[in-house]
Amino acid sequence: MVSLTSAAVVAVIALLAPLVVRLARLPVPEIVLEILLGALVGPQLLGLVQVDPAVQVLSVLGLGFLLLLAGMEIDYARLRGQLLRLTAAAYVVSFVLAVGIGLLLGVVGLVRSPLLIGVILSATSLGIVLPVLKDAGQTETQIGQVVVAGASIAEVVPIVLLSLLFARDASGLGARLTLLAAFVGFVMVVALLILSAERSRRISAALLELQDTTAEIRIRGALALLMVFAALATAFGLEGILGAFFAGAALKLLDRDQAMTHTRFHAKLQAVGFGAFVPFFFVATGVSLDVRSLVGSPATLAKVPIFLVALLIARALPVLLYRPLVTGRGQLVGAGLLQATSLSIPIVAGRIGVDLGVILPDTYASLVAAGLLSVIVFPLLALPRLAASRPTATDPPT
C-alpha cells in the first residue's frame, strides 16, 4: 500500500505557505517559502518528508500544470512588429552572453556543461514575472508589455532548447529536430481537430451544458490535452515539459470565446493547477535539494552569488535593445531586473542536468538558491523603478 504520509505533510506546507506570506507580510512570492519549507522538512534537515512515489507523481503533475499555465499566459496578439523583433533580438544576445558565461565557468571548473548553463541563464520565469506586474498594475503599460513579451520568448525558447539538446535519448540533433517538427505537426493537427469539433453546434452545445456541472468538461479536456501532449513528447524522444507547455499554448490559441460563454475556464484551470498540484512541485523541489552541500561547503555556497550575477548579466544587459520601446533609464533597469527573475527553468533544467550527470547535486542546489534570490530581490528592486514613470495604458508597439 502506498504511503501518503509525506504527501500529507507537503499538502499542509502548501496550505500554510501563502497564509504565512500574507499574515507576516513577507515581501516574497509564496513559492519561495514552499521551497524553503520543503528543504526544512526534507531528509537532510528534519527528515519528515521523502520524495516517495506519491509525492513524485503529484510533483510531476504540478510541473505539468505549471508549464501548461505558463503556455496559456503568452499573449500572441502582442508578439508582433517591432516588439517581437526587439525582444527576439534581445533574447539572441542574452543566449550568446549566457553561453559565454557558461564557457567561462567551465574553464575554471565550476560547471560541467557550459551549454546547459547557458540555456538556464538565458531564461525568465514568465509565471513569476506576470503576477508581479499584475499586482503592480503594470501589465497594460508599454513597459509591462515589453517585459511580458521578452519573458514569453525567454521561457518558450529554453524549453525547446532543453528538448532538442538535452533529451534523455541518445539520438542526434538532426533526429531530434525531425522529431520536434513531427511533434509540432501533430500538435497542429490536434488543434485543428479540436477547433473543428468546437464549431460543431452539437458538440458546442454539449460542452456548454457540461462545463459548469460536476463533469467540468473543459477542465477534463485541458487535463487530457496536457497528459496526451506530455506523453507524446516523451514518445517522440523529447522532454515531457515541452508537451505540457505546448498544451497550454494550444489552449491559449483555441480558447477564443467571442460569445463569452466560458469566462471562468481559465480561472478554474488556475484553481486546479495552483490550488492542488503546482505547490507539490515546488515543495518537492525543496525536499530534494542538497541542503547540506549548500550550507556545509564554502565552495558550493560561493557559487550562489556567481550564478546570481551571471543571471543578471545574461538577462539584464540585453534590455538595452529595448530603448526604442521604453522611456527613461529607470524603466530599462526595472525591465532588466524582471527579465533576470528566473526560477522555473533553473529548477527543471537543473534537475535534467543532474539526471544526465552533467550537473552535480551541489551545483544544482546553488542554481536553485540563486533562482530563489532572484525571485526575492529583483522584483523588489524593479517595481519602484517602473512605478517612478507614471503608468499609462498603451496599444502594443508595432
Dihedral (CA of 384, 388, 390, 393) sign: negative
Q: How far apart are CA 141 and CA 108, in angstroms?
A: 43
Q: How far apart are CA 99 and CA 121, in angstroms?
A: 8
pTM greater than 0.85 (yes/no): no
Task: Measure Cα distances from 388 to 106, 192, 242, 296, 327 in Å.
Answer: 40, 45, 38, 41, 11
Question: In a 3-state reduction of DSSP, which class is residue 141?
Answer: strand
Residue 324 near residue 82 (C-beta atoms within 8 A)? yes
User: 311 is written with which cell numbers?
Assistant: 543571471
The residues, ordered by sequence, that sit 6+ positions from 15 with a Cβ below 8 Å of its Cβ are none
Q: How far apart are CA 221 and CA 254, in angstroms?
A: 12
Q: How far apart are CA 57 and CA 3, in angstroms?
A: 13
Number of Cβ within 10 Å of residue 81's Cβ equals 11
Res 392: pLDDT: 45
Res 188: pLDDT: 87
Res 171: pLDDT: 64
Res 396: pLDDT: 45
Q: What share of the chain is helix, strand, coil (3-state, %, to 5)?
A: 75, 0, 25
List average pLDDT for each run of 10 residues in the chain, which is 398 residues long: 89 94 87 90 91 92 88 75 90 96 91 92 87 76 85 89 77 78 86 81 86 91 92 84 87 69 83 92 89 83 94 94 86 92 90 88 91 90 76 45
Residue 14 near residue 280 (C-beta atoms within 8 A)? yes
Res 225: pLDDT: 92
User: 241 is written with which cell numbers?
Assistant: 515539459
DSSP string, 86-127: HHHHHHHHHHHHHHHHHHHHHHTTS-S-HHHHHHHHT---HH
- Cβ-in-10-Å burial (0-12, 13-18, 19+) of 324 comes to exposed
Backbone angles phi, psi at 108, to 5 degrees: -85, 5
**3-class secondary structure per residue, 20-80:** HHHHCCCCCCHHHHHHHHHHHHCCCCCCCCCCCHHHHHHHHHHHHHHHHHHHHCCCCCCCC
Q: How far apart are CA 144 and CA 393, in angstroms?
A: 10
Hey, what's the torsion of the CAs at 383, 94, 81, 252, to 10 degrees? -70
The residue type found at 72 is M
